[in-house]
Structure formats: structure tokens, C-alpha cells
Amino acid sequence: MREPDRRLDANGVACHVLIDGWRTVSPRFVFQGYDDDVQGEFVRPYLDAEGKLPGRVAALLVESPDGLVLVDAGNGRFAPELDVGHVHHELETLGIHPWDVRCVVITHGHADHVGGLVGPRDEPAFPDARHVIHRTEAEFWSSPEAEALPNGAGLPAQTALMALLDAELLDTVEGNAHVASGVDAIEAPGHTPGHVAVVVNDAVLWAGDTFVSQLNVPHPEWVSLSDMDGRTNEATRRRLLERAAAAGLQLAASHMPISGRVARTGDGYELRPSEFS
């Protein structure tokens, strides 16, 4: 395996941040009800020249003693209008073949997390991997409610889950689940009904889409238009922040362009960056 450009160290277990792509998003999407008069002083330092927030789409590869564990798989082919879908290339640059992956953890069913789970003919992209998803999440994306989402938003998850079920590669879990040596999926609902985060070796907390901006650390109440249940996600953020601060976990997430340690500041939290991607 070649040396990666982006790594998180989980007490000796290497975690590789795989960049599926970069994009910029309006703060009015990232923060529901955004009011520049109220939030602008905090947000404006992060805006680009077009008044948008830069962010990434990322997955995580964990070198577990049990074998390689992939957390999410990016967009795949499902967002051709964007410069995304690069997770498989990122794996190639590390010398990783799809059949080398032993386990895939699906944090949730949005396209930028599940699209890369299938190939061009809807075949499983990681044919030798056990795929793990929370039962609540699997049930949601198989429901009429998901079928009715606008703009075919449910199609990538439905396509991936059907392919994995047909190949007998999908396992559903409930509660918190130990999925591999040093890798635990923990319940983190709100962004989607059965969203999970991942803790690696009691050192790294990969929060999926619980946090969509580093500003969610000092402002966990700033929910996103992409959150299906914003208030539940706020509660999940606060719970994960407390856990990260108490245990000294390094916090990273799919869309946050930085990661770092969480520190308590009075009655709140701050992120002390330790990794820039």
C-alpha cells in the first residue's frame, strides 16, 4: 500500500480520508434559515469569492486488523454534473483493489454516500465485502416515503440496497454495532432516520453527515436543509461532541474540510484543527 496524502491516526490504526470530490454550497443550504445579520460574522470568514462555503465529499478507509473497512463510497455515477465520484480512483492510488475491501459501513443512504457501492451495471462494486447498514436506515430507503422523494433522491440508495441484497452482501444492524476489530458503528440519527457514525479504535470519530460544517461544532443548533430531522440531529451532535471532548477523540466528517480535537469552551465546544484536506 502506498503512502496516502491524508491520514488520521487512530492509536496506531491508519485511517485514510478518500476525497470523492469538492464542491461549494450556499450557506443558506448548509444552515437552514440562515440570517446574515445574525450568523454572518461567524460564517463570512469561511466564504469564497462567490459567497459560498467550500466543502468536500469524502469516505474513509480503515486498516482494521480484520481487513480493510470502507466507510461509505461516494457518488459513483449518480452526480455526473459534478466533479465527484472519485473514491474508486482514490483507492487505486493507495494500491487498493475493490476485492481487497472486507467490510463497508454505510452511514446513510444519500447519493454521495451510496452511489459508489454499485458499478455501471448495478453490480456490487465491492464484491467480497460485508456491507453494514442500520436497520432503520435500510427500512426508510425501501419505503414509499423514500420512493416519493423529489428528483429521484431515493434511487441511488434503492439501487445499491437491491444489488447488495441480491448478492447476499447486506447485513442490517440495530443499536450500536461492532463491525470489525477496532471499528464500531454507533447510532447517530437525525440527518436521516438510521444514520450512523463510526468510532475507530477509541481514537477517531467519523461523524458521517451529522456535522456538515466545522461551524456545527460551536453551533450545533445550526441545522441543515439536508437534515431530515434537524432537532434530532442537533441532539445527536451535542451527544457526539460531549463524547469526543470527554474521550479525546479526533472528530472528522464527510463534508467538513478539516478535522481536529473537540474542546469544551464554557458551555460550548470548539474544534482545534489537526488535519487539513
Domain assignment of residue 12, yes or no:
yes
Q: Check pLDDT > 80 for residue 277.
A: no
Range(s) of the domain holding residue 257: 7-276
Place of cell 487512530: 10
pLDDT at 6: 85
Three-class SS of the chain:
CCCCCCEEEECCEEEEEEEEEEEEECHHHHCCCCCHHHHHHHHHHHCCCCCCEEEEEEEEEEEECCEEEEECCCCCCCCCCCCCCCHHHHHHHCCCCHHHEEEEECCCCCHHHHHHHECCCCCECCCCCEEEEEHHHHHHHCCHHHHCCHHHCCHHHHHHHHHHHHCCCEEEECCCEEEECCEEEEECCCCCCCCEEEEECCCEEECCCCCCCHHHCCCCCCCCCCCCCHHHHHHHHHHHHHHHHHHCCEEECCCCCEEEEEEEECCEEEEEEEEEC
pLDDT at 90: 97
Q: What is the domain count for the chain?
A: 1
110: buried, middle or exposed (CB in 10 Å: 19+, 13-18, 0-12)?
buried
Domain assignment of residue 183, yes or no:
yes
pLDDT at 275: 53
Sign of CA dihedral 55, 244, 72, 86: positive
Mean pLDDT of 167-196: 98
41-85 per-position pLDDT tens digit: 999 999 999 999 999 999 999 999 999 999 999 999 998 889 999
Domain assignment of residue 1, yes or no:
no
What is the reported pTM? 0.95
**What distance, in Å, lies between the first and last C-alpha atoms of the chain?**
20
Domain assignment of residue 259, yes or no:
yes
pLDDT at 48: 95
Widest CA span of the chain, in angstroms?
53
| Average pLDDT over all residues of the chain | 95
pLDDT at 199: 98
Domain assignment of residue 102, yes or no:
yes
CATH code where residue 168 lies? 3.60.15.10
Q: How far is CA 105 from CA 42, 52, 179, 244, in A?
A: 34, 30, 8, 20
215-248 per-position pLDDT tens digit: 999 999 999 999 999 999 999 999 999 999 999 9
Domain assignment of residue 2, yes or no:
no
Q: How confident is the model at residue 276 (pLDDT cuts 50, 70, 90)?
A: very low
Mean pLDDT of 28-39: 96
Mean pLDDT of 153-167: 97
Rounded Cα distance between 210 and 232, Å, is: 10
